[in-house]
Amino acid sequence: MQSQMGFQPTILLLKEGTEESQGRSQILSNINACVALVDTVKTTLGPRGMDKMVIKGKDQVTISNDGATVMKLLDIVHPAAKSLVDISLSQDAEVGDGTTSVVVLAGELLKQAKPFVEDGLHTQNIIKGYQKACQLAKKHLTDIQVDVSNKSEEEKRQLLEKCAATALNSKLVSSHRDFFAKMVVDAVFHLDDDLTLNLIGIKKENGGSLGDSYLVDGVAFKKTFSYAGFEQQPKKFVNPKIIALNIELELKSEKENAEIRIENPEQYQSIVDAEWTIIYDKLDRIVQSGANIVLSRLAIGDLATQYFADRNIFCAGRVTDDDLRRVCKATGAQVQTTVSNVIPSVLGSCGLFEERQVGGARYNFFLEAEHSKTATILLRGGGEHFVDEAERSIHDAIMITRRAKKHHSIVAGGGAVEMEVSKYLREHARGISGKQQMIINAFAKALEIIPRQLADNAGLDSTDILNKLRQRHAQGNGKWFGVDIVNDGICDTFETFVWEPTLVRLNCFEAATEATCLILSVDETVRNAQSEAPQAGPQMGRGGRGGLPRGMAGRGVRAMRGR
């Protein structure tokens, strides 16, 4: 009857209780969620950025202004806003700095796109324009970068110190940035050409001040858990031989369900003797190898500890994997999984080993190693939260220094790059007709959020600062002019040594654009209800009797499934 009158039944494809939203309102909802998240973290940007206190659980408190750390700790539920967390973490993993900048820029790109969406412009046009603007921005950035590959070694070292100091300028340890910048550069110069990050150890010890921190030319780690007999072992060696093991050196109790059938007491005694014979055989082979220091990833029990103490050998069990890897890299030792036929070439060596007191703990130091391709930074500070934030700051500076050493090109910071690229995009847009001109202009305007936010966070008049910067960059002789936090104005940030690797800005532009395009391309969200017991019989359509069973669709009908 219905088909004769021209009515079509409504086909229900999704489970009852499924939430579904689509169209322009969905895109605007995603934009609003991302902008709300950006408003939370944008005040951490720059040298005068504020810190965030994030409390998880009862006692886990983190105080930080590192964008990636804050974004990771926030329990974000909105699925679109989670993409901003992803780009922040990717920026941290790839470059190490600029984690707040990439989130702030992505949020501003979305904010600039919002009026176009409200006016009915298709988001694919916006995505196309943003991608084109990003390519132009990256190209212009590589054109204006300063190549330092032809500098002398001393000039390169000074350059790296300036880049590290710029990374530390916005951190809690900014008052000691020159002190830590030199330390970070020295640590990076200890590494191989592959610049493996894990070979720089950062150890934290509460007490003292930041100025008491120092760089260890070698490896240092906190004394591991020890048994009786440890205090009888020597704590200092000159030119020792080091053996690194992945073996457990202690007597293990039998499993609870183990069953052994014996006929007389002598057989039981032979089983006990065999266990002791096995452990003593291992210890004898280690002693015969000539090693003075025994390190193992696994436990070294009280029997082995006393055995080594009687023979003037130092041992440490349960050494963390990172620390053992650094010791092997520095001393040339190779980790052994057996003590059978230990040859001299697998043993490591260093000029000096000793145990020292650092604050309230004792540390083992491996110094003057011939193969030393690693370093350790011992951080001191007044409180636990302060030292934790100092560690995150040093990590960012190390990442920046590694990238600058590998890629040999820098640009000026302080918003100077963003203002210069913004000017270039505005000039380029004048030669384009149609909608793309407006979108590229919107991208150019979004770039100005970096200097604007730097000025706002410093308590300056951001409108006045931006007008001065636009004027300077438009004149053509001030491409490196950015926000001057010290004198509350603008200055040539290249002359004031506010430098950063080009890779930081390139990755920032690209990651922010990709995240923005991803969010703008989502026009529908389907949220499934909690799984329920299936109901008997087919699920009928809302409009008549001809509905399809749940989960089935006829030809030409699009089935949707959310997770």
- CB neighbours of 8 closer than 8 A, spacing ≥ 6? 2, 543
Count of CB atoms within 10 A of residue 235's CB?
A: 14
Mean pLDDT, residues 503-509: 91
Domain 153-217+377-407: give its CATH code.
3.30.260.10
Task: Report pLDDT digits (tens) over 53-98.
Answer: 888 877 788 888 888 888 888 888 888 888 888 888 888 888 878 8
- Catalytic (active site) residue 86: no
Kindly indicate the confidence band of residue 14, based on its pLDDT and cuts at 50, 70 and 90: low
Q: What is the pLDDT of residue 530?
A: 59
Please enumerate, as own/partner, the contacts of 428-437 that have beta carbons within 8 Å and a separation of 24 or more: 428/136, 435/121, 435/125, 435/129, 436/125, 436/128, 436/129, 436/132
* Confidence check: pLDDT of 410 > 50: yes
- Catalytic (active site) residue 461: no
Q: Which amino acid belongs to residue 243?
A: I
Kindly indicate the confidence band of residue 253, based on its pLDDT and cuts at 50, 70 and 90: low
Judge whether 512 and 106 are in contact, CB under 8 Å: yes
List, in sequence order, the alpha helices (H) in 19-122: 24-41, 67-73, 82-94, 99-118
Q: List the beta bridge partners of residue 482.
A: 491
Q: What is the pLDDT of residue 15?
A: 57
Q: What is the pLDDT of residue 544?
A: 39
Whether the predicted model's global pTM rises above the 0.75 cut: yes
User: Would you give the DSSP letter of residue 336?
Assistant: B
Q: Determine the 3-state secondary structure of 201 from DSSP.
A: strand
Count of CB atoms within 10 A of residue 381's CB?
A: 23
Kindly indicate the confidence band of residue 11, based on its pLDDT and cuts at 50, 70 and 90: low
Domain 219-371: give its CATH code.
3.50.7.10
**The CATH homologous superfamily of the domain defined by 19-147+412-520:** GroEL-like equatorial domain (1.10.560.10)
Q: What is the pLDDT of residue 1?
A: 44
* Confidence check: pLDDT of 252 > 80: no
Catalytic residue among 43, 44, 69, 100: 100
Report the distance separating Cα 511 and Cα 522, nearest Å: 17
Catalytic residue among 43, 62, 69, 99: 99
Q: List the beta bridge partners of residue 237.
A: 353
Q: Determine the 3-state secondary structure of 225 from DSSP.
A: coil
* Confidence check: pLDDT of 249 > 90: no
Kindly indicate the confidence band of residue 116, based on its pLDDT and cuts at 50, 70 and 90: very high
Mean confidence (pLDDT) of the chain: 83
Write a three-state SS string for 440-471.
HHHHHHHHCHHHHHHHHHCCCCHHHHHHHHHH
Catalytic residue among 43, 44, 62, 66: 66
Kindly indicate the confidence band of residue 128, based on its pLDDT and cuts at 50, 70 and 90: very high
- Catalytic (active site) residue 376: no
Which uninterrupted H or E stretch holds 206? strand 200-206
Tokens of 305: 């500890």
Kindly indicate the confidence band of residue 104, based on its pLDDT and cuts at 50, 70 and 90: very high
Sign of CA dihedral 137, 139, 142, 143: negative
Catalytic residue among 97, 396, 456, 484: 396
CA distances from 520 to 43, 45, 111, 114, 116 (A): 25, 25, 11, 10, 11
Report the distance separating Cα 61 and Cα 237, nearest Å: 41
* Confidence check: pLDDT of 557 > 50: no
End-to-end CA distance of the chain: 38
Report the distance separating Cα 328 and Cα 334, nearest Å: 6
Kindly indicate the confidence band of residue 183, based on its pLDDT and cuts at 50, 70 and 90: very high
Count of CB atoms within 10 A of residue 93's CB?
A: 11
Kindly indicate the confidence band of residue 313, based on its pLDDT and cuts at 50, 70 and 90: very high
Domain positions in the chain: 19-147+412-520, 153-217+377-407, 219-371
* Confidence check: pLDDT of 326 > 80: yes
Kindly indicate the confidence band of residue 9, based on its pLDDT and cuts at 50, 70 and 90: low
* Confidence check: pLDDT of 52 > 80: yes
Task: Report pLDDT digits (tens) over 511-550.
Answer: 999 999 999 988 877 766 654 444 444 443 334 333 333 3
Task: Report pLDDT digits (tens) over 372-392.
Answer: 788 999 999 888 888 888 888
- Catalytic (active site) residue 396: yes
Percent of the chain exceeding pLDDT 70 equals: 88
Judge whether 111 and 35 are in contact, CB under 8 Å: yes
Q: What is the pLDDT of residue 335?
A: 92
List, in sequence order, the alpha helices (H) in 145-242: 153-168, 177-189
* Confidence check: pLDDT of 111 > 90: yes
Q: List the beta bridge partners of residue 194.
A: none
CA 345, chain centre distance (Å): 37
List, in sequence order, the alpha helices (H) in 289-383: 302-310, 321-331
Task: Report pLDDT digits (tens) over 415-438.
Answer: 999 999 999 999 999 988 888 999
Tokens of 186: 């020295």
Q: Determine the 3-state secondary structure of 186 from DSSP.
A: helix
